[in-house]
Chains A and B, each alone.
Chain A
Amino acid sequence: MAQIKWLSDFEGAVSAAKAEKKPVLLDFFNPG
């Protein structure tokens, strides 16, 4: 089953967004 490939590095996500010309989906979560 396909899954969302979440990044865990905010700056890396923004860099990827700029490179791919996409917006960022930022999810603050509590695993527990």
Chain B
Amino acid sequence: MGAVTYPDAKVVEFVTSRMIPVQLLSDAKPYVTDFNIKWTPTIITLDDTGKEHHRVVGFLSPEEFIASLLLGIAKANFDLDRFEEALSDLDKLLFNYPKSKAAPEAIFIRGVCGYKSSHDPKPLKAAWEKLQAEYPTSEWTERAKPYSLLP
């Protein structure tokens, strides 16, 4: 990460503008225990109270890293019932990084956000249809399968 992804100009711009970055050594106590760290790199998105919402383990390319951070920020906002903020970052992820590994989960969460903010089931079914069409082998397509039965 330190040789390839962190020096990338787009990564620097994204992290600087959107997040508070902190690096801890793999033996930093009590945090390694608190966050159950077993391998490095482990990269975690926390909200502004320090609560975890998303994590990845292992190397990510600059594009995959930014997509993963967008997903993490969106998941934090989703967990805090800030659906409009979550939808904004999910849309950015899907527009700019549609081929990323984070994209299928983003579509799934986007559907749930749409439902929870409107109580209309159409976004759930739309999420399944998009997943089925664009990511038919994704685990998130399987998880969304029940939404195919919605009217």
Task: Give A residues with C-beta under 8 Å from B.
Answer: 1-10, 12-14, 16-18, 20-31
B47 and A26 contact, CB distance less than 8 A:
no
Q: Does B96 lie at the interface of the complex (its beta carbon under 8 Å from any beta carbon of A)?
A: no
Residue of B nearest to A18 (CB): B48
Interface string of B38-82 (1 = CB under 8 A from A): 001111111111100100000000000000010011001000000
Interface residues in B61-109 (C-beta closer than 8 Å to A): 69, 72-73, 76
Q: Does B2 lie at the interface of the complex (its beta carbon under 8 Å from any beta carbon of A)?
A: yes
Set of chain A residues within 8 Å of B73, measured between Cβ atoms: 23
Residue of B nearest to A6 (CB): B23
Number of residue pairs spanning A and B whose beta carbons lie under 8 angstroms apart: 128
Residue of A nearest to B6 (CB): A4
Set of chain A residues within 8 Å of B25, measured between Cβ atoms: 28-31
Interface residues in B11-52 (C-beta closer than 8 Å to A): 11-13, 15-16, 18-26, 28, 31-32, 35, 37, 40-50
A sample of 27 inter-chain contacts (CB < 8 A) reads A2-B12, A2-B13, A4-B16, A5-B21, A6-B23, A7-B20, A7-B22, A8-B23, A13-B21, A20-B20, A23-B19, A23-B45, A23-B53, A23-B73, A24-B21, A25-B15, A25-B19, A25-B69, A26-B24, A26-B45, A27-B41, A28-B23, A28-B25, A28-B42, A28-B44, A29-B41, A30-B40
Task: Give B residues with C-beta under 8 Å from A.
Answer: 1-2, 6-7, 9, 11-13, 15-16, 18-26, 28, 31-32, 35, 37, 40-50, 53, 69, 72-73, 76
A16→B48 CA distance, assembly (Å):
8
Set of chain B residues within 8 Å of A12, measured between Cβ atoms: 22
Question: In the assembled complex, how far is the CB of residue B9 from the closest CB belonging to chain A, in whole angstroms?
Answer: 7
